[in-house]
Amino acid sequence: MTGHSTKFALLIVLPRRFSRLALWAVCLAFMTHAVAAPEIQRWDTTNGARVYFVQAMELPMVDIQLVFDAGSARNGDKPGLALLTSALLDDGAGDLDADAIASGFENLGAQFGASSLRDMGSVTLRSLSEPAHLDPALDLLARILRTPAFPADALERERNRMLIALQSQDQSPEDIAQKTFFQAVYGDHPYAADPLGTPESLPALTRGDLEDFYQQYYVARNAVIALVGALDRADAERIAQRLADGLAEGGRAAPLPPVTPLAEARTEHVEYPSSQTHVLVGAAGITRDDPDYFPLYVGNHVLGGSGLVSRISAEIREKRGLAYSAYSYFTPMRAAGPYTLGLQTRGDQAQQAVKILDQTLGNFIQGGPTAAELTASKKNITGGFPLRIASNSNIAGNLAMIGFYDLPLDYLDRFNERVDAVTINQIRDAYQRRVHANQMVTVTVGTTAP
């Protein structure tokens, strides 16, 4: 981010089109042609957790991700509950407190993580693979899963830190725009609420709420376990079983309610004293298993998903210099995730930019891509396939995504052929049926243009 570190270069490989809320729902689109996808091994633990394993012997390390259908969409009438539950996982397990857990992992060089988005709650562990490091790290992880303590004093601390995080959002025009956008697009749907909850909801959450949430959603049948690393199959089976044994068997979370599309276009403006106006335009889009996924994904790559060579970027940035970042992306989720178009520009240029964005979208819906554009996008997507499975962490993310959204095991193997099969007509047809410019939300955050 800002200008003081030479190290932030690590961040540059994350293109803006990846939503912060369903990061992996989007960022794991890839596949194969010349390059074989990794061989995925798949089984269930005895209590019904679905396991996905890829052996990778080159580095002496292991990545483990447990992904639960336990995101903020499961909060019911308690906004913030899923995230607070996740945040407290390493604050107590049995008689271990937060200090003991933190030093337990870190004394082994292991890295523990817990996160929660709208669809998923996930727990991750990265460890060296040699047993002297891996075994005690797994013991600790299993203990957390089996007996999370949710200590009352840690609950207060983390609740307060989430309240601070809410204030931090309120001083970011970009965050304000995102929140407003989700509320406007999703109305009464569980996706409307921000995972952080609200200043009103957080104080009401109790330890009992967290325990109930954990007991209902952090259960084996609601879990996917992804393993990548220097393990053989027998080791991987033992590890998955050991972790799942700590979980109640439970059941899968109920389907989410469908999203009701907006009946008409809607405009929301939030007045904010920033020099730029942040603009988000969009509507509910697609589920991860949507039959139109490939035409829409490839079509959007042409429209606003391919960085500076995309149409939106060409119109907004390259031709007119209106914004540093102008983009569009689908976020396929369990229920219909959003289709988002966005930019940020000096306040007095906002109206002009919105108009161009709308025109660019309208033209695309009407005419679809040109043959040359489609070919270029296909080449980028399919030619870049090897980059998407190049590291253990890439592969682990793919496994979690495939497992969580019940995609077929040959999803990676067939991705490139499915991209290649998309036609101009399919894209135009899918956009005309699914993307309705007259039923979209337009959010602006900034000062009103004079």
Minimum CB separation from another protein for residue 306, in Å?
Answer: 6
DSSP string for 210-267:
HHHHHHHHSSGGGEEEEEEES--HHHHHHHHHHHHHTS----PPPPPPPPPPPSS-EE
- Pick the binder of another protein from 77, 164, 255, 263 (CB under 8 A): 164
What string marks each residue from 370 to 409 as x (binds another protein by CB under 8 A) or -?
Answer: ------x--xxxxxxxxx-xxxxx----------------
CA 5 from chain centre, in angstroms, equals 27
Task: Specify the residue, 127 or 442, whose C-beta has the smaller distance to another protein.
Answer: 127
Q: Do the Cβ atoms of 284 and 257 come closer than 8 Å?
A: no
Among positions 418-447, residues that touch another protein (CB under 8 A) are 447
What string marks each residue from 177 to 196 as x (binds another protein by CB under 8 A) or -?
Answer: ------------------xx
Considering the rule CB under 8 A, would residue 201 count as an interface residue with another protein?
A: no
Considering the rule CB under 8 A, would residue 6 count as an interface residue with another protein?
A: yes
Among positions 99-118, residues that touch another protein (CB under 8 A) are 99, 101-103, 105-111, 113-117
DSSP string for 41-94:
EEEE-TT--EEEEEE--SSSEEEEEEEES-SGGG-TT-TTHHHHHHHTGGGEET
Considering the rule CB under 8 A, would residue 207 count as an interface residue with another protein?
A: no
Neighbours of 20 (CB within 10 A): 11
Considering Cα of 142, then 145, then 149, then 154, what sign does the dihedral take?
Answer: positive
Of 140, 12, 30, 21, residue with least CA distance to 391: 30
Q: Give the CA distances from residue 117 to residues 9, 125, 205, 217, 263, in Å, rounded to whole numbers and listed in that order.
A: 25, 18, 18, 14, 27
**β pairing state of 121-128 and 61-68:** antiparallel
Among positions 78-97, residues that touch another protein (CB under 8 A) are 83-84, 86-88, 90
- Pick the binder of another protein from 94, 131, 152, 160 (CB under 8 A): 160
Task: Specify the residue, 47 or 325, whose C-beta has the smaller distance to another protein.
Answer: 325
Considering the rule CB under 8 A, would residue 152 count as an interface residue with another protein?
A: no
Task: Specify the residue, 56 or 262, whose C-beta has the smaller distance to another protein.
Answer: 56
Considering the rule CB under 8 A, would residue 351 count as an interface residue with another protein?
A: no
Considering the rule CB under 8 A, would residue 254 count as an interface residue with another protein?
A: no
Minimum CB separation from another protein for residue 256, in Å?
Answer: 21
